[in-house]
Chains A and B, each alone.
Chain A
Amino acid sequence: MGAPKKSAARVSEDHDELVRVPLQAILLADSFTTKFRPITLERPKVLLPLANVPMINYTLTWLESAGVEEVFVFCCAHAKQVINYLEKSEFNQPNFTVTTIESQNCVSAGDALRVIYERNVIQGDFVLISGDTVSNMSLTQALLEHKERKKKDSNAVMTMVIKRSKTHPAIHQSRLGTDEIFMAIDPNSKQLLYYEDKADFSKGTLHLENSLLADNPSLSLHHDKQDCYIDICSPEVLSLFTDNFDYQHLRRHFVKGLLLDDIMGYKIFVHEIRADYAARIDNFRSYDTVSKDIIHRWTYPLVPDVMNFGNTATKLERQGIYRGSDISQAQSAVVGPFSVIGSGTKIGKNTKILNSVVGIGCKIGSNVHIEGCYIWDNVTIEDGCELRHAIVCEGVIMKSGSALEPGVVLSFKVVVGQEFVVPPYSQVSLLQQPVEEDSDEELEYADSTSAITSTVDKSDGETASELLDGHFTPASELGFGGAGYVWPKCEGGHEEEWRHSVAPITEDKILEAVKAMEDELELIHDGSILPPSGELIPNPNDSDDDDNDDLRDDFDKEVEATFLRAVLENIQENHLTLEVNSLKLSYNKVAADCAGALFYAMMKYAVDLPHSSADGLVQNVHVVLTKWKKVLASYLNDTDEQIEVILKFEEICLESAKEFAPLFTKILHYMYNEDIIEEDAILSWEDEKKDADEADKVFVNQAQPLIQWLKEAPEEDDEDEE
């Protein structure tokens, strides 16, 4: 009786496949960061329990219920563990297949996608998600929108899912502990025009390109949107990653790269979800926030009492207390609201558990106080311990009377000695902090706004030295009978650790941040600096004027250094262009910025060359400009960029190299003759300056003869040139 039915089912399946491509998903089971260290040294992030269920379960369950039929799980760090786990669990269903792809030498999401591209398994549109995302959104609408856009415009390669979520006004981070994201979205087409997740908040400004405003009749800027890291992608995305082998990070490189690169014209769109929930666990703070959201049932139906994986049923009681089966709890023990207690856990007398998650099979003694903690499976907590806002991994033993201060992370099987108090924000592991990043582990890369290479080198050096300082003090580090190493704090992390830890942000930190912000505001109002012209600075956040000198300087300095190196090492012109181009990309600059910076570098170099008189200086300028004009010219394709150069020149004359001031017209004329600057640019520059202050007009006035000459004899001019 079974046979005919079975074959019937087969046939219908085959038929389905002929009609449409199954919806596929790529799940990255590796976040390629080190934010969850030390825990991730021993276990991959996606298998860490979230309200007693491994994170990847949430992601896979969602994918399945959202109608995805085929999931490729990409494993990198601890691939074996992930694969074993998936084999044991029952995710493979007839219409939902989970395939694992393993690769050991990937260090970024970009690498992972390139590997997947090589495998040639993706046939149509796919969902790109990382294994630490919790969502209950319905994909239907987003998919439909994506497909329709794709039909109309083959360049619409990606739809990003975003959700409104307010950021903290003082500390500029979202509930999830990630940095505030600025997005510019076309309100009609929902096209993403600008994406910035590393904005410099100390300045409170944001740089948008002119063209952005010029090309789009309307544009809405958001800073209260949360990036859900759920992307619906067309297959082109994979090939884009392969073509651009330097794309590593999905957002920082890929999204920004596409937005900046207008050659191919690829477009990214956004889909905003309202009632649905989606969030990615990026750091300890988001671990805390998402856990709370799950307990508060925002993720319904992905909540503990519904997602009863395995055979342990969890029941929801009043006040949001989730209880597994076989819990033995002393009568005097109190389990507070919004807590999850795993099955088989024993709770002793007078113990208080508030706002916490306790795993399966834990033993908690008497007079223990647990608040806001995440305690995983099989943890033993002896009498009289006190735990606040900590993460306690599997197999940890806390001897009697010990305490955890807020923000502590205890990795697997750590033993905290008697009466020992673990200081706030410490990270404790049985393993020592790795000195070098080895490729097996999740790698941190390009995580800073400053120069990529230099920082990484520095951080390595510092970590190493710190390790030596802290020296490998063994067991005694955690008191009598303790076992584990307290990891020395990483560079930079010291002041910022409170941002990403599980502990709630303390009042004084917020006050500090507010104060800092006020101070800055005052500072800004005092030294009213004009924004550099040619760039427009909208302020969605607050309305103070400011400039972005630091960032600008950084970029300028880099370009200058590159230029000097080029001069010294006699690097070919096109190589220099290439290097400047890469700087342009990494700093998110436009051609005008490059032209300005290059020009600045050249002038500086010219000044620094030995010269005796003004004529000598002009001579120097001539030499330098002639030699490198091709490089400069490649950034001077249109009038705006040339104006930028003139403006820069003005700036140089005014500020850094006053020697140039009297020579302004001369050099300008020379540049005109050399075709670096065109007539149009000079004229529009003059035009622009018409309404300016007298002080600003010094150089216009100086150049008046030249302008006059240009205006009067345009034809002759042309002949001259010819």
Chain B
Amino acid sequence: MTVRIGVITFPGSLDDVDALRAAKIVGAEPVSLWHADADLHGVDAVIIPGGFSYGDYLRAGAIAAQAPVMRSVVDAARGGLPVLGICNGFQVLCEAGLLPGALVRNAGLRFRCIDQQLTVERTSSVWTSRYRSEYDDVRPILIPLKHAEGRYVATEHDLDALEAEDRVLFRYHGDNPNGSLRDIAGICSADGRIAGLMPHPEHAIDALTGPGTDGLGMFSSLMDSLVGAAS
């Protein structure tokens, strides 16, 4: 079975090509999806990439969340389609109401561009299962991060619910780069199929261009889940 992974391109997306390449490297067929086309072309999963969709007008991700393709993604995600939002994609998922909370201006007001250590808080999701087998759960992973609006905020009630339901996927390890509440770098839906994070796993898949290959685990995890389900 060929697994087809769709990557959405909005006006202003930057990291769509890297995400498509990550899909190809783990053996999937990469499929480009277009913001104005509501058809998901039968893909098995969707990645919403990083960038500055619609120039971050209004709020980061706010206008992309209303795009025709996102109406289809919201419906499909509620039906169980795995969806990953990276950086701007995470902002889009929060604005679209698929994940709780919001991402606001970094506490230090600076655009941060660093290689960041993360702890994997949950390995029982379609996006993180590989981190259980490849590493012991305590070993932090190293993933690049680059954003000005990555400070995760939510009400105390929502934060407590996220922790209680084991929906914190990643936390910043060591320094917190943006002031995110409870050091949250990424979260997921209760069933683990809808996930969002600010750091960029698609930039850590090749030692030639990234700090290592720790990001590959997210895409390999998805492949395990989809191929396992089909066989």
The answer to whether A and B come from one shared complex is no
Residues in A lying within 8 Å of B, measured CB to CB: none
